[in-house]
């Protein structure tokens, strides 16, 4: 069976987290920002899985299930807020919403 070294696995999770962080900082569409946050949460869950597998403990899988539950709640609340923002401002661009804030 092929085993991947621990350093490569952690590097992969770090790259995923970095891609999510870049997505949050660069993209201005709120939906893309929410998806980037999901990528960051999944990379954090991947680190827990890697650590649990390395030490042969089920704690990493338990924490990943907790992260999935938090991500599900975050998505449901985030999409509800995004829907309200879209109905109010008619845009999903974070910069445009920030500019419109002063006009109300």
Q: Going residue by residue through the chain (104 aa), what tens digit of pLDDT does each one get?
A: 789 999 999 999 999 999 999 999 999 999 999 999 999 999 999 999 999 999 999 999 999 999 999 999 999 999 999 999 999 999 999 988 887 666 55
pLDDT at 96: 86
The domain locations on the chain are: 6-103
Run of H or E including 65? helix 59-89
pLDDT at position 101:
66
* Helix and strand element counts for the chain (H, E): 4, 0
pTM summary value = 0.89
**Angle between helix 6-26 and 30-54 (nearest 10):** 170
pLDDT score at 86 = 95
CATH class for the domain made up of 6-103? mainly alpha
Q: From its phi and psi, is residue 26 left (phi > 0), alpha (psi between -120 and 50) or beta?
A: alpha
Provide long-range contacts, Cβ within 8 A and 24+ apart, for 93-100: 93/28, 93/29, 93/30, 94/28, 94/29, 94/30, 94/33, 95/28, 97/30
């Amino acid at each position: 069976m092929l085993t991947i070294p621990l350093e490569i696995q952690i590097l992969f999770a770090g790259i995923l987290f970095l891609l999510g962080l870049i997505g949050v900082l660069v993209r201005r569409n709120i939906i893309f920002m929410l998806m980037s946050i999901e990528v960051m949460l999944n990379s954090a869950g991947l680190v827990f899985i890697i650590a649990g597998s390395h030490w042969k403990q089920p704690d990493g899988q338990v924490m990943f299930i907790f992260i999935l539950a938090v991500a599900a709640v975050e998505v449901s609340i985030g999409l509800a807020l995004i829907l309200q923002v879209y109905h109010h401002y008619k845009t999903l661009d974070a910069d445009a919403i920030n500019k419109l804030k002063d006009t109300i």
